Every structure is written in structure tokens, then in C-alpha cells.
């Protein structure tokens, strides 16, 4: 790829504006030479395609966990101005507000290691997982409409958690603009039984411990210290979000023709931000994002209940506080400085994390000194990381960074190459207990199917768009 991409620094490379006809801006890849060796040519083409879209600002941006997605590459970030720009489901993805939250505790690794099988088995029962899995909670259409607006707050008000949790959620757990009237009956029917469930694929519930601190001050402010047991929850909007995306791809495919938008790839279907189709998609996307925040909040409550049952202590006594919750697949209206002026743009992050720097008013007061917490999950059995956003991210990437490891093998290829029982045995030898709905899933989600999380976070840290705080190692994982 070095014959295509132009080096700016060891960790930032440019795809020039002239690479493809119609590119309005260049594309910038935050990547190392090591990761460039496995960079897919199709992902480069997708980044160039995004650069042709109406109203795009500054650049089409690509994070080091990049791989080919639907329309936009996964790991893609793009911002569009409100007058001439567009909104695109391909820039958000099918799993709307797939995201991660991290809970701390005052338990130490040695207290939990001996009981990890008992704990993961109990969590596996408490939090249903798998394709089409249904939860213990069934909601009505009226309640769904409330969730579409209130997000995590609905869960808090119905007894699932506490007010403090909201303060440590991106957008306080609810994106403004969610509306139920644009969500189809089919999407609603998929969403009604699935609150409080993990789903399948790369979603997980992981019991971890803090293995290493890189930034003492930031770790102290977050309440992290070495040897502490943490819980990471990775899931999204389930079947509801997937259906909302599918429904609106049809609507926006028609809108492309209606508004005479020229696109190099039909998968980039979009509509002007100020059109009815654009506004309706945003409302349905926000509703799905709010459903996802509510979902993670309910799971959090059941995780705390499970810890109480196993360790015979209240979650308050266990000090199971939420450190933060971030979205990975979302579009949001934000103010950013472009050509020396602050303007409002619609930032699409698809497989990317918001990483606002210190003193940003959008992040909780207790974190403003250090910047927004960034949570980067590893693939199954590999390290996860806590970082913070930086001023450089605000200047270069619309306050964005990577979101995870990024696949190197498709699910089908992983299943051909690997066996679930072998993966499970290998993890067990490392002291990691895994519970999954079926063996094929363990093959699909094996560490070998992903880039190393260490390599990905090393890039964003060295590029300066986020800063390492702590490394977390797995003790046990519940998978869908």
C-alpha cells in the first residue's frame, strides 16, 4: 500500500484527493507499517468513495482497526456540513450504537480467579445471549416509544441502576432526536423482547482485571488501580437497530435518485441532512441508539445483581461504579473547528469511538481534566484498553479514535480454519474461562480472527489521537 498512500508520519498516511475522480477531500489513514501489510485494498477504495460524498469536511478518516464494511469502511469517520451534507446508514452501520461500557469493583483478581467459572456461568444465565435471544423483560409499544426518547434514563427510572450511571454515559445515555413514529412495526417487534440481551457475534460480557497502569493521574481519577476486577459489556441495539438500518437503506436508495446525488457505490445510500428522508433516518437511528443505551443499562443492573449473589455483598459495598459508556456506531451533531471557525457538522463514526480532549464540556466534569475515557475491547482472550481523548484528536479527527481490534479473517474463513473446542482449550490454558452458546462462535471470534489490540492502540497512542491509561486482561468471557 506504500505505493498508494503517502507518508505524513509513521502513524498517519494520506490517500491524495486525486486518487479517484470525484474525491472532494483526501483520506487519512492512522496506521502503522505493520498493520498496512494487512490493509485490504477494498477498504482503501471505500475510504476514497466516502471522500466523494456531498458536504464532506476536511477528510475521510480511517482508524487502525480498519476493515471492509457496508459502504463505509469499518473504522471510518466522516463529518458533513449541515447545508450541503448528507446522512448515510453506511456511515453508522447495521448495529446502531454497538458500544462498550466498563464497570469497576473493589474486588481483587485473586478473590475472583478461583470463582470465575461459577461467576461466568451465573452471568451467562442472568444476561441472555445468542442470535435472536430474548430477555427477561418484555416491553409494550408505549414503553418502546419512551425508550426511543429517554434511552438509559428509562432503565434507571424503572429500577435498573442509579442516576450516577447516566453521568458516565456518552450523551448521558440518550441522543437527542429519537422518534418512535419512524420505526417500523417489524423493527419494533424485533426489539420488544430483546432488552437486556447481549446478542451474538463479537458481543460479549467479560470479567477482567487491571493488569497495567500507563497514566497514574488519569487512572486515579477514573478509580482504576492494578489488580482491580472490572467488567466490560459490549453490545448494541440488537435486531431493532439492524431492522431500522435495513428499512432506511431502501428509503435512502430512493432518495439518492430523487435528489440526484452521484455516488460511486450504491451502498453509500444517503439523503441531504435537511431533507425529510435525512431527518427521518436520523430520528430512527437516534431511537435505536437510545434503545442500545437502555439495553446496556439493564445488563449492567443484572451484572451487579449477579455479583451480589455470588459474593454475598451489595453492589454498593462492591463499589461497582460505571467508569464510562461509549458508542462505536453512531452519527451525531457536534461543533468542530474547521478552517479556523467552529461549525456544526454531522459526524459519522462507524467502528470508531468519540475521543474528546480535556476541558470538553460534553464529557463529565470529573473527567474534564484528563479527557474523555475511551474503551477499546480486545478480541476474545486478548487485552482490552482504557485510553483518554486528546486535543490532537479534536484538531485532526473530529475527536475520534479506534474502536477495537478489527477483523483479519471473515467469520466463514475463521470457521473453516479453526475449531471452537480447540479455541476454548487454548484459552483455558491461559487461565481464561469461556462460556458460549455454541462452539462455532468460538471459532468465529477466536483471537486469530482479529488484529492484535496492542498493535491498534499503539498506533492511536503514538499518533496522539488518544492516550493510554490502563490495560485490562480477561479472566472469563460470556459470549452469544
**Average pLDDT for 438-458:** 79
| Fold topology of 6-408+450-479 | tRNA-splicing ligase RtcB (3.90.1860)
Residue 407, pLDDT score = 61
Per-residue pLDDT at 195 exceeds 90: yes
List, for residues 344-380, the tens digit of each pLDDT value: 999 999 999 999 999 999 999 999 999 999 999 998 7
Residues 6+ positions from 91 with CB-CB distance below 8 Å: 50, 71, 72, 76, 78, 270, 331, 348, 350
Mean pLDDT computed over 288-299 = 98
- Alpha helices (H) in 131-237, listed in sequence order: 141-150, 152-157, 163-167, 185-191, 216-222
- The terminus-to-terminus CA distance of the chain in angstroms comes to 36
* Mean pLDDT along residues 3-28: 96
pLDDT of residue 6: 96
In percent, the amount of the chain with pLDDT more than 90 equals 84
Per-residue model confidence (pLDDT) at position 294 = 98
pLDDT in tens, 244-265: 999 999 999 999 999 999 999 9
Residue partners of 292: CB distance under 8 A and separation at least 6: 96, 97, 98, 99, 235, 236, 237, 238, 241, 327
Is residue 3's pLDDT more than 90? no
Q: Residue 408: is its pLDDT beyond 70?
A: no
Grade residue 422 by pLDDT with cuts at 50, 70 and 90: confident
Average pLDDT over residues 437-445: 74
Contact in structure between 261 and 86 (CB atoms under 8 Å): yes
7: region left, alpha or beta (phi > 0 left; psi from -120 to 50 alpha): beta
Lowest mean pLDDT across 21-25, 29-33, 50-54, 440-444: 440-444
Q: Which position among 242, 328, 348, 403 bears the catalytic label?
A: 403
**Distance from C-alpha of 267 to C-alpha of 273, rounded to nearest angstrom:** 17
**Residue that has been written with the C-alpha cell 458460549 in this structure:** 436
Q: What are 67-93's pLDDT values in tens digits?
A: 999 999 999 999 999 999 999 999 999
pLDDT higher than threshold 80 for residue 100: yes
Residues belonging to the chain = 480
427 vs 14, more confident: 14
Catalytic-residue membership of 336: no
Instruction: Please give the average per-residue pLDDT across 288-314, as a whole number.
Output: 98
pLDDT per position as a tens digit, 116-156 = 999 999 999 999 876 777 778 889 999 999 999 999 999 99
Strand partners, 169: 325
At residue 87's C-alpha, the angle toward residues 179 and 91, to 5°, is 105
Helix, coil or strand: residue 105:
strand
CA distances from 403 to 115, 174, 327, 465 (A): 30, 20, 9, 12
Dihedral of CA atoms 49, 55, 57, 59 in degrees, nearest 10, equals 10
Q: Is the pLDDT of residue 50 over 90?
A: yes
Strands (E) across 251-316 are located at 271-272
Report how far residue 314's alpha carbon sits from residue 328's, in angstroms, rounded to the nearest whole number.
31
Residues 171-175: what's their mean pLDDT? Answer: 98
d(CA 426, CA 448): 12
Region 383-396: what's the mean pLDDT? Answer: 97
Instruction: Tell me how far apart the alpha carbons of residues 3 and 19 are, in angstroms, rounded to a whole number.
Output: 12
CB 242 within 8 A of CB 120: no
431 pLDDT tier (thresholds 50, 70, 90):
confident
Domain boundaries, the chain: 6-408+450-479
Q: Examine the pLDDT at 314 and tell me if it is beyond 80.
A: yes
Question: pLDDT band at residue 450, thresholds of 50, 70 and 90?
Answer: confident
Element (H, E) at 139: none
Long-range CB pairs of 135-140, under 8 A, 24+ apart, other chains included: 135/193, 135/194, 135/195, 135/196, 135/197, 135/298, 136/196, 137/195, 137/196, 137/298, 138/192, 138/193, 139/192, 139/195, 140/192
Instruction: Give, for 279, the enclosing helix (H) or strand (E).
Output: helix 276-311
Cβ–Cβ < 8 Å for 339, 373? no
Cα–Cα distance measured from residue 144 to residue 158, given in angstroms and rounded to the nearest whole number: 13
Under DSSP, the state recorded for 20 is S
0.85 surpassed by pTM: yes
What is the residue-averaged pLDDT of the chain? 94
Q: Is the dihedral of CA 437, 438, 439, 444 positive or negative?
A: negative
Does the pLDDT at position 167 exceed 70?
A: yes
Dig out the grid coordinates for 471 from the structure.
490495560
pLDDT for the residue 136 = 81
Instruction: Tell me the three cell numbers of residue 348.
Output: 459519522
Q: Quick check: 235 and 247 in contact, CB under 8 A?
A: no
Amino acid at each position: 500500500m506504500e505505493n498508494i498512500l503517502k507518508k505524513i508520519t509513521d502513524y498517519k498516511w494520506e490517500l491524495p484527493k486525486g486518487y479517484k475522480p470525484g474525491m472532494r477531500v483526501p483520506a487519512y489513514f492512522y496506521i502503522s507499517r505493520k498493520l498496512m501489510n494487512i490493509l485490504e485494498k477494498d477498504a482503501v477504495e471505500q475510504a476514497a468513495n466516502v471522500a466523494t460524498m456531498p458536504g464532506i469536511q476536511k477528510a475521510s478518516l480511517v482508524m487502525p482497526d480498519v476493515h471492509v464494511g457496508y459502504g463505509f469502511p469499518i473504522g471510518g469517520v466522516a463529518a458533513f456540513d449541515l447545508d450541503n451534507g448528507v446522512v448515510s446508514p453506511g456511515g453508522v452501520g447495521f448495529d446502531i450504537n454497538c458500544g462498550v461500557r466498563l464497570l469497576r469493583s473493589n474486588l481483587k483478581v485473586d478473590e475472583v480467579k478461583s470463582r470465575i467459572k461459577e461467576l461466568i456461568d451465573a452471568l451467562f444465565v442472568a444476561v441472555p445471549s445468542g442470535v435472536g435471544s430474548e430477555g427477561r423483560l418484555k416491553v409494550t409499544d408505549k414503553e418502546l416509544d419512551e425508550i426511543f426518547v429517554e434511552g438509559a434514563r428509562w432503565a434507571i427510572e424503572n429500577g435498573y441502576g442509579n442516576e450516577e450511571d447516566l453521568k458516565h454515559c456518552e450523551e448521558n445515555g440518550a441522543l437527542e432526536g429519537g422518534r418512535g413514529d419512524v420505526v417500523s412495526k417489524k423493527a419494533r417487534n424485533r426489539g420488544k423482547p430483546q432488552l437486556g440481551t447481549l446478542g451474538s457475534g463479537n458481543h460479549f460480557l467479560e470479567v477482567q482485571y487491571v493488569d497495567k497502569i500507563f497514566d497514574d493521574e488519569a487512572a486515579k481519577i477514573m478509580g482504576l488501580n492494578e489488580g482491580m476486577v472490572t467488567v466490560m459489556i459490549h453490545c448494541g441495539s440488537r435486531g431493532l437497530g439492524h431492522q431500522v438500518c435495513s428499512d432506511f437503506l431502501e428509503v435512502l436508495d430512493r432518495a439518492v435518485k430523487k435528489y440526484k446525488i452521484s455516488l460511486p457505490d450504491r451502498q453509500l445510500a444517503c439523503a441531504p441532512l435537511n431533507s425529510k428522508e435525512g431527518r427521518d433516518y436520523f430520528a430512527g437511528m437516534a431511537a435505536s441508539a437510545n434503545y442500545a443505551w437502555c439495553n446496556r443499562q439493564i445488563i449492567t443492573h443484572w451484572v451487579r445483581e449477579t455479583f451480589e449473589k455470588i459474593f454475598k455483598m451489595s453492589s454498593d459495598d462492591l463499589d461497582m461504579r460505571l467508569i464510562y459508556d461509549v458508542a462505536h456506531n453512531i452519527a451525531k451533531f457536534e461543533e468542530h473547528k474547521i478552517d479556523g471557525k467552529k461549525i456544526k457538522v454531522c459526524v459519522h463514526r462507524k467502528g470508531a469511538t468519540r475521543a474528546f480532549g480535556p476541558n470538553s464540556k460534553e464529557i463529565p466534569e470529573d473527567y474534564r481534566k484528563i479527557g474523555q475515557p475511551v474503551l477499546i475491547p480486545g478480541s476474545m482472550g486478548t487485552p482490552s484498553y482504557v485510553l483518554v481523548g486528546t486535543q490532537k484528536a479534536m484538531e485532526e479527527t473530529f475527536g475520534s479514535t479506534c474502536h477495537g481490534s478489527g477483523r483479519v479473517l471473515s467469520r466463514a474463513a475463521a470457521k473453516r480454519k479453526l475449531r471452537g473446542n480447540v479455541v476454548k482449550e487454548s484459552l483455558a490454558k491461559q487461565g481464561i474461562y469461556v462460556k458460549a452458546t455454541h462452539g462455532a462462535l468460538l471459532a468465529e471470534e477466536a483471537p486469530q480472527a482479529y488484529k492484535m489490540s496492542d498493535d491498534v492502540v499503539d498506533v492511536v497512542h503514538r499518533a496522539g489521537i488518544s492516550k493510554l491509561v490502563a490495560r485490562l486482561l480477561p479472566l472469563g468471557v460470556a459470549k452469544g
